[in-house]
Structure 1
């Protein structure tokens, strides 16, 4: 689209999470008039650590915000998968993207703060819970609880796994329970029982349980995550310390001790959900990004990265296409095949038997060394 057309484009982003904040930044750099509407009255990101892949960091460099994000991260060289008692299965460097070779490990809260911190003052409007979206073809109207309405040339639905935008316009299918729970806490490096010696992600696999140690050494902490099979689909289940200890029975005793020492009031507990692939992400004036379009299980660590890539691809498409309608079609054609594949791979999870499905030809390290 012509620069003059982009500058006349009024865009409303629904949701101020990773996808919404990144989309707001990328689209505002086009010169468009962007506003972000977030239902929460204050931004408080719970959870723990994530990894920002080299391609994601390249997008931040392109947008001029690399330093703002990098200063709250720890660069990581590789990730490693081990058995429950610490025997190596595989060790891989993070996939590079050009000169960018490091994945950057970051706390979710720090990441959101960094993204929101690079948006212009007044762009984000808190306390706006979306009630309905009406698609009028070339423009759409948002109505929020309390009666406020906003009209925009383009609505970006970045409102997460339980997206109102997706549900009202594109798919009424709800989130899908994975049969797992995730228990997440941030502990001090000193409390990690000597298991964190560098800035690299390690995952320990036992029967039905995965334990992740993700260093956040720039803040002297470690993200400690347990993902365990559980039939309870309650969105925010009630879990005791004994329940958690049962999931790590048979693991390296240091991991058991970390679990035993957790302050349960600091542990984020949730059932793990994703969504089935959504056939259509856009109309002529509404589009989905991030979890609203393709929420996926966390096993491959691709949720936040995919949301950032969505934002970049959407901005690219608007710059390159002749109209908003054409741009949205181009965006979906670019991103949907990628995220469909990632959703499917993420559902495979990580087990010793499934590693070869994700990394074809990869043999467990112990088996390889025996040959």
Structure 2
């Protein structure tokens, strides 16, 4: 599209998470009129670490925000997989992308703060919970709790795994329980019992349990994450210290000691869900990005990275296509094959034997790889 056409576009982004903030930044750089509507009254991410891949950091460099992200992250050279007791299984350098050879490890809260911090003042509107969306072809009307209505030429649904935009226009299927729990917290490096000596991610694999140590040494911390098979699909299950210690039994005693020392009030406990692939991500004036389009399990560490790539690909498509309608089709054609495959691979986190230990006599579709 001509830049003059893009500058006349009124774009409403629903959701101020990674995908929404990234899409807003990329689209605003094209000159579009962008407003972001977030249901929360304040922005905050539960403390845990993630890795931003080289291709993601390339996007940030292209958008002129690399320094803002790099300033609150640590570059990592490689990731390592070890047995529960610390025997090496695999060690690989992060896949390079152009001039970027490092994955940057970052605290989720620092990441969203940095992303929102590079958006123009007044672009993000908090306390706007979407209630309904009317797709009228070449434009849409969004109605928020309290009655406020907004018209837009393009609506970007970036409202997460429970997306209202997705449920109203694209798929009413519920999120899918994976058959696992995630327990996440951030501790001081000094509390890691000497296990964090550099800036590289390590994963320890036991039967039905994985422990991730993700250093955040730029802030003197480490993200301690446990993923374990568990049949309880309650969104926020209750887990005691004894439960956690039973889960990590048999691991390196230093990892067990980390778990034993935790303040359980600081541990984020959740059942892990994703969604089945959505057949269509767009109409002529509404499109999905990030978890709203393709929420995936965290085994590949690609959820946030995929959301950022979505935002960049959407802006690229608007720039390269002749109309909004064509741009949305191009965006889906570019991104959906990639995320469909990532969703598929991410569901292959456990062996059938591990699953049968937790789900005796059955191979639950939610916990097993799906075709």
TM normalised by structure 2 equals 0.94
- Within 1, Cα distance between the matches of 2:322 and 2:184? 45
Is the 2:208–2:350 Cα contact (8 Å) retained in structure 1? Answer: no
Give 1:111's aligned residue: 111
Question: Does the alignment pair 1:30 with 2:30?
Answer: yes
- Name 1:209's counterpart in structure 2: 209
> Which residue of structure 1 aligns with residue 188 of structure 2?
188
SS at match of 1:339: helix
* Cα separation, 2, equivalents of 1:347 and 1:44: 28
Structure 2 stretches lacking a partner, 5+ long: 355-371
2:137 aligned partner: 137
Q: Does the Cα contact within 8 Å between 1:299 and 1:350 map onto a contact in 2?
A: no
Contact between 1:179 and 1:230, CA under 8 Å: does it hold in 2? yes
CA distance in 2 between partners of 1:210 and 1:94 (Å): 20
Aligned to 1:320: 320
Identify the residue that residue 167 of structure 2 maps to in structure 1. 167
Output the CA distance in 1 between the equivalents of 2:45 and 2:351. 29
CA distance in 2, matches of 1:351, 1:265: 32
> How much is the aligned-residue C-alpha RMSD, in angstroms?
1.1
Match of 2:337 in 1: 337
| Matching residue of 1:276 | 276
What is the distance in 1 between the residues matched to 2:23 and 2:173? 25
Partner of residue 364, structure 2? none
- Judge conservation of contact 2:51–2:106 (CA < 8 Å) in 1: yes
The structural deviation recorded for 1:22 is 0.4
TM-superposed CA distance for 1:350, in Å, is: 5.7
* 4+ aligned runs moved over 6 Å, structure 1: 351-354
Which residues in structure 2 correspond to 1:1-371 (within 5 Å)? 1-349=1-349
Which residue of the partner structure matches residue 364 of structure 1? none
Tell me the residue number matched to 1:357. Answer: none
Q: Residue 13 of structure 2: SS of its match in structure 1?
A: strand
8 A contact 1:35–1:124 mirrored in 2: yes
CA shift, 1:351, in A, is: 6.2
Alignment deviations for residues 298-349 of structure 1 (CA, whole Å, 9 cap, x no partner): 0110000000000000000000000000000000000000000000011111
How far the C-alpha of 1:352 sits from its partner, in A, is: 12
| CA deviation map 1:138-191 (0-9, x unaligned) | 000100010000100000000000000000000000100000000000000000
Task: Report the CA distance between 1:47 and its aligned residue.
Answer: 3.6
CA–CA distance in structure 2, aligned partners of residues 246 and 190 of structure 1: 24
Structure 1 gap segments, 5+ residues each: 355-371
SS at match of 1:106: strand
Q: TM-score, normalised by structure 1?
A: 0.94
- C-alpha contact 2:48 2:186 (8 A) present in aligned 1: yes
- C-alpha deviation, 1:39, in angstroms: 0.2
